[in-house]
Amino acid sequence: MLASIAHRTPPRSYGPWEQVASTIAEGLVARGHDVTLFATADSATSGRLHAEAPAGYEEDASVDAKVYEALHIAAVFERAREFDVISNQFDFLPLVFSRLTPTPVVTTIHGFSSDRILPVYRAYDDVVEYVAISEADRHPDLTYAATIHHGIDTASFHLGAGDGGYLLFLGRIHPDKGTAAAIDVARRAGMPLVIAGVVQDAEYHRREVEPHVDGTNVRFVGSVGPAERDRLLGGARALLHLIEFDEPFGLSVVEAMAAGTPVIAYPRGSMPEIVRHGVSGFLVPDVAGAVAAVAQLGTLERAVCRTDAVTRFSSERMVDDYERLFRRVVAEHRSASDRR
Amino acid sequence: MLASIAHRTPPRSYGPWEQVASTIAEGLVARGHDVTLFATADSATSGRLHAEAPAGYEEDASVDAKVYEALHIAAVFERAREFDVISNQFDFLPLVFSRLTPTPVVTTIHGFSSDRILPVYRAYDDVVEYVAISEADRHPDLTYAATIHHGIDTASFHLGAGDGGYLLFLGRIHPDKGTAAAIDVARRAGMPLVIAGVVQDAEYHRREVEPHVDGTNVRFVGSVGPAERDRLLGGARALLHLIEFDEPFGLSVVEAMAAGTPVIAYPRGSMPEIVRHGVSGFLVPDVAGAVAAVAQLGTLERAVCRTDAVTRFSSERMVDDYERLFRRVVAEHRSASDRR
């Protein structure tokens, strides 16, 4: 299991790629598989840990990203013959090692940062097994082995009463995530808004968010750990997820559902695959639609939201899917080797 | 031969790594070796060309450096079994592929951009053969197979009369290269200065160089191609190379000598290995020393400068050194394989 080394695995707060790598690794260990997690030295796993980088390059300025990415990825491929399959949760760089090893490489594509990285995915389409994290994120030029939605530890979220009297924004503070639109919707709907997340775009935060933060109508609580996240979600009337990009998946959306909190989202990217309109939230075309949806929240049942999350987005379901895929890839690979 | 893909190979103007890769490749082809040059698609070689990147990432904004570096380097290692030896002129990233191939990798270290990249060189010290480009640039933590000074095509430089009545600065406009010190020395010595080179640090250029450019006492001519370079060097009384860092090698210093032009340099980095004090130039401790050296230029013979460059820094000598090293590495590698 090759994790990203931007953060430790599992992440302390932000780090969706590291979170998914950890969830799959721990799930496979629990099922009796022998798993080696390649991650930062301060990572935690019930499997075996192999570390090259002392810490995440986003968390320790002395860690040079390019240097440690290279050492980290090479370490997996130098030991490749010890493994039945390599699960790559680390973007495109590991792909270019994949022709140099007999071990099959399954690469989860956590979204395309830009079209500029497509040439690498295209070049290794014939040798690497790709996993899409949503149907919406499948690129027409690539061949996929499977689409596997992310799953979360639903047991660490609890069905909340939604009685905090506020709407919630949970995610990076960045134009992509629509923080400003959430502020606008809350104001028009006449409800307080709580904003939680790391500031990724400081200029946007200063210009579009800070002027509205008054501690009452708009509260900014910054990055929150798992317990606080569960509590904040449980008290929220709804999550406002008014994204401005085709988000390949939304972990915070699934977390909200696991706390029984409906999601009001624009129908972009993976949102129509995650949010069931009229069941676990509303897909709305614009700010006015979002305001109208707030008035409709009473028609949704929080317990149904949670059940849907547990059924469709639990870590068990994700680990099932990956385990099945890994078994299939290993079997196909052995059979192809036998024919040679 | 794995060249850098910042620029095409050989470079149109700036590009010392690409220049050295080209010189070695062409020299080996001329001696009958079968050479495949891995470089940008617009590169030129009398050997075979393998290109992944359409153009240099410094020359074409549509070329993503990280994407094409990965594809470019992987291409060499995917074809490694076709080659007796891989000559890596491309910094540290190729090192991490070196344990995945039976073909020996000889890596020329063109200087350490920072101590942060040392962990990779240390990690592959046992498997990769390192070449230092000067004794001064050898790092105490690493094991080297050889030190090989760069060589240039001395035939493309001609013994000039040095009768242009000016001193010359030739190199990147950057604090490291001491452009400001050169202006100061020329002014104090009462001689005009010609400045040629690409502006690498625009703020430094604006602040320390431009205010002095008057077209007479200080002339700025920008980047110059080979013919203009030869002409400028041939007319110069001396090259001022008052560097502010431990330069691992100085191609422009050797080019000056090939045109018969003495070099006035600070004795940092590789300078004491290149410039023979009192023969092909002067090693001086400071600006005052440089001004005094200008007055002593009459004691040096331009023909001796050129002879020294032809003897010690010709491409023939460099290609001899690399050919000998490659033969030795291949022989040692075969013998080690036979023992296994």
Measured between CB atoms, does A78 come within 8 Å of chain B? yes
* Secondary structure (3-state) at A130: strand
> For chain B, where are the alpha helices, taking DSSP H only?
16-30, 65-78, 118-123, 179-189, 202-204, 226-235, 251-258, 271-274, 287-295, 302-312, 315-339
Give the sheet arrangement for strand B281-283, strand by strand.
B218-222, B193-196, B166-170, B236-241, B263-265, B281-283
Instruction: Locate A217 and state its tokens.
Output: 């109508």
Would you state the structure tokens that stand for residue A322, as one six-digit string?
């990956």
Which of A54, A43, A47, A55 is closest to A19 using CA atoms?
A43
* Residue B229 and residue B255 in contact, taking contact as beta carbons nearer than 8 Å: yes
Percentage of residues in chain A with pLDDT exceeding 90? 93
Residues in contact with B287: Cβ distance below 8 Å, sequence separation at least 6, in sequence order: B181, B184, B185, B188, B242
Confidence of residue A20 (pLDDT cuts 50, 70, 90): very high
Mean pLDDT for chain A overall: 96
A64 touches chain B (CB under 8 A): yes
For B70, the closest of A71, A77, A120 (CB atoms) is A120
Reference A240, options A250, A248, A228; nearest CA is A250
Burial class (CB in 10 A: 0-12, 13-18, 19+), B125: middle
- CA dist A302 and A307 (Å) reads 9
State how far residue B27 is from chain A, nearest Cα, in angstroms: 30
Place of tokens 């050898």: B138
Q: What does the CA dihedral A178, A179, A181, A187 come to, rounded to 10 degrees? A: 160
Cα separations (Å) of B144 from A199, B112, B149, B246, B307? 46, 14, 14, 19, 29
Q: How far is B116 from chain A (nearest CA, A)?
A: 6
Rounded to whole angstroms, how far apart are CA atoms A3 and A53? Answer: 12
> If you search the block for the tokens 């790709």, which residue do you land on?
A130
Tell me whether residues B70 and A100 touch, CB distance under 8 A.
no
A213 touches chain B (CB under 8 A): no
**Cα angle vertex B274, ends B272, B278, to 5°?**
70
Residue in B closest to A92 by C-alpha: B67
What's the confidence (pLDDT) of residue A13?
81
Reference B249, options B266, B263, B276, B270; nearest CA is: B270
| Inter-chain residue contact B71 with A96, CB threshold 8 Å | yes
User: How many Å apart are CA B37 and CA B43, to the nearest integer?
Assistant: 9
For residues B199 and B57, give the distance between their C-alpha atoms in angstroms, rounded to a whole number.
17
Check CB contact under 8 Å for A119 and B92: no
Q: Which residues contact A119 (CB under 8 A, 6 or more apart)?
A: B67, B68, B71
Taken in order of first residue, the domains within chain A and their CATH numbers are 16-151+314-339 (3.40.50.2000), 154-312 (3.40.50.2000)
> For residue range A145-201, what is the model confidence (pLDDT) as tens digits?
999 999 999 999 999 999 999 999 999 999 999 999 999 999 999 999 999 999 999
Question: How many Cβ atoms are within 10 Å of A274's Cβ, its own excluded?
Answer: 28
Q: Do A100 and B78 touch (CB under 8 A)?
A: yes
Q: How far apart are CA A244 and CA B243, in angstroms?
A: 50
- Pick from A73, A78, A99: CB nearest B78: A99
Per DSSP, the three-state class of A38 is: strand
Of B68, B70, B116, Cβ closest to residue A64: B116
User: What pLDDT shows up at residue A143?
Assistant: 97
pLDDT, tens digit, for every residue of A127-157?
999 999 999 999 999 999 999 999 999 999 9
Q: Region A249-269: what's the mean pLDDT?
A: 97
> Residue A226 — very low, low, confident or very high, per pLDDT cuts 50/70/90?
confident
How is residue B95 written in tokens?
């090192």
Span between the terminal Cα atoms of chain A, in Å: 27
* Contact between residue A258 and residue A310 where contact means Cβ atoms under 8 Å apart: yes
* Distance from the Cα of residue B339 to its chain's centroid: 38
In this prediction, residues B202-230 reach a mean pLDDT of: 94
Task: Specify the pLDDT at position A340.
Answer: 67
Six-digit token string for B174: 């950057």
Mean pLDDT, rounded, for B45-74 = 96
**Is B119 in CB contact (< 8 Å) with chain A?**
yes
- The whole-angstrom distance between A197's CA and the closest CA on chain B is 29
B92 close contact with A: CB closer than 8 A: yes
Higher pLDDT, A316 or A13: A316
- Side by side, the strands of the sheet bearing B105-109 are B86-88, B105-109, B129-132, B144-147
Beta strand spans in chain A (E): 36-38, 48-50, 86-88, 105-109, 129-132, 144-147, 166-170, 193-196, 218-222, 236-241, 263-265, 281-283
Set of chain A residues whose Cβ sits within 8 Å of the Cβ of B62: 116
User: Which helix (H) or strand (E) covers residue A254, if one does?
Assistant: helix A251-258
> What are the pLDDT digits (tens) for B95-151?
999 999 999 999 999 988 788 899 999 999 999 999 999 999 999 999 999 999 999
Contact between A181 and A287 under an 8 Å Cβ cutoff? The reply is yes
Which residues in chain A have Cβ-Cβ distances shorter than 8 Å to B103? none
Q: What is the mean pLDDT of residues A247-257?
A: 95
The whole model's pTM is what?
Answer: 0.88
| Percent of chain B whose pLDDT exceeds 70 | 100
Mutate to test the interface with A, among B52, B90, B100 (most CBs of A within 10 A): B100
Interchain pair A117, B74: CB under 8 A: no
pLDDT of residue B300: 97
- Among B78, B100, B120, the residue with its CB nearest the CB of A67 is B120
How sure is the predictor about B39, in pLDDT bands with cuts at 50, 70 and 90?
very high
Nearest CA among A53, A61, A62 for reference residue A2:
A53
Give yes or no for residue A96 having a pLDDT over 80. yes
Contacts of B96 in chain A (CB under 8 A): 70-71, 73-74
Are residues A314 and A95 in contact, defined by beta-carbon separation less than 8 angstroms?
A: no
Contact B100 A117 (CB under 8 A): no
Q: What is the pLDDT of residue A337?
A: 78
Q: Do B120 and A70 touch (CB under 8 A)?
A: yes
Residue of B nearest to A93 (CA): B70
CA of B92 vs chain A CAs: smallest distance (Å) = 8
Beta-carbon separation of B100 and A119 below 8 A: no
Q: Under an 8 A CB cutoff, do A71 and B120 touch? A: yes
pLDDT tens column, B233-275: 999 999 999 999 999 999 999 999 999 999 999 999 999 999 9
Interval A3-12: pLDDT, tens? 999 999 999 8
CB contact under 8 A, A100 and B119: no
Distance CA B149, CA B128 (A): 19
pLDDT at A122: 96
Cα distances (Å, whole numbers) of residue A219 to A192, A233, A255, A289, B23: 8, 14, 20, 23, 64
Best of A38, A68, A71 to mutate (most B CBs within 10 Å, chain B): A71
A116 at B interface, C-beta within 8 A: yes
Which among A52, A86, A97, A128 is the top mutation candidate for probing chain B, defined by the most B β-carbons within 10 Å of its own β-carbon?
A97
| Minimum Cα–Cα distance from B72: chain A residue | A96
* B96: closest chain A residue by CA: A74
Indicate yes or no: CB of A67 within 8 angstroms of CB of B99.
no
Distance from CA of B246 to the nearest CA of A (A): 22
Q: Tell me: pLDDT of B5 over 90.
A: yes
Number of helical H runs and strand E runs in chain B = 11, 12
Question: What is the pLDDT at residue A335?
Answer: 86
- How much is the ipTM here? 0.85
Binary contact (A71, B119; C-beta < 8 A): yes
Name the token pair of B52.
């992944």
CA atoms within 13 A on the CB side of B10: 16
Per-residue model confidence as pLDDT tens digits over B276-332: 999 999 999 999 999 999 999 999 999 999 999 999 999 999 999 999 999 999 999
Interface contact B78-A97, CB threshold 8 A: no
* Candidate from A62, A100, A119 with C-beta closest to B97: A100
CA distance to partner chain B, nearest, from residue A191 (Å): 45
pLDDT at A262 over 90: yes
Return the DSSP state at B314: B
So what's the pLDDT on residue B340? Answer: 67
Q: Which residues of A touch B67 (CB under 8 A)?
A: 92, 116-117, 119-120
